[in-house]
Amino acid sequence: MIFATENKKKIRKLLKKQNLEGESIKRRISSPKGTEGGKIIMIQIPVYIPESLPHSLKMTQKEFSNEISLLLAMKLYEMGKISASMAADVAGLNRLAFLSLLGKYNVPAINLQGEEVDAEIEAARELGVK
């Protein structure tokens, strides 16, 4: 991953506006697994937790960080706030790997609402799917 510094002043200005002046936010440009050279700019935002939390969950800090990213991605996906592709990027996974992990956390891979369900059923009927 390449850490980008071209907008460091803009980020610091934003932090100052939000009273987060001493915080560190890092931007990185990455080519997520499963993409064809598409670049996504990611930012790192500090989240404060008790120092003992990763240890109490029997995780290293890296494992805990990965888990937090995955849980955030899953929750935003479950709420319909982001697509599966975006969620996979947030989690640092390819789309298929992300979708395959959803069941482990009891998150539905398909998140259809009301009329969408009816439309999918009708489309399946038209295709002759029983």
pLDDT in tens, the chain (130 residues): 334 444 456 556 655 655 544 444 444 545 544 444 566 788 888 889 999 999 999 999 999 999 999 999 999 999 989 999 999 999 999 999 999 999 899 898 887 677 777 777 788 888 876 5
Place of tokens 């888990």: 67
* pTM > 0.75: no
Whole-number Å distance between alpha carbons of 35 and 31: 7
Give just the sign of the alpha carbon dihedral 73, 89, 40, 38. negative
Count the residues in the chain.
130
Residue extents of the structural domains in the chain? 1-46, 48-130
